[in-house]
Amino acid sequence: MQPIPARIKLAGENSAVVVTWSDGHVSAYAYRYLRGKCPCATCSESGPPAEAAPSPFPIFGVKPLAPERAELVGRYALQIYWNDGHSSGIYAFDYLRDLCPCAECSAKRERAANTH
């Protein structure tokens, strides 16, 4: 059975969405990384969003990228509402778990890619 999120924290350490999975694994997704992996049709066709340098003076420039809120979609996905106005990406739990950037998950992906 595929693990599901047991806890989701939007304002995690180091500007990351932190997911604690039902199997105990913890995934920390940097905001820019997760936004760049948006699975919506628009982002899939146009590629990741352009890098916007955060301004040290938010009143004069772009705010650093961050999720404003998130909602569960049924029992299978998470929809994130980003402060850049984007919200059409629905991150299925299995997709989100596959994106886990930790060393353990990265090594598993690499081993799987080498066996094909």
Domain parsing of the chain, residue ranges = 5-114
Rounded Cα–Cα distance for residues 96 and 60 (Å): 34
**pLDDT tens across 15-25, in order?**
999 999 999 99
Q: Which fold has domain 5-114?
A: NE0471 N-terminal domain-like (3.30.2020)
pTM of this prediction exceeds 0.85: no
Contacts of residue 37, Cβ cutoff 8 Å, sequence gap at least 6: 48, 99
pLDDT, residue 44, reads: 83
Q: Which two tokens stand for residue 98?
A: 């596959």
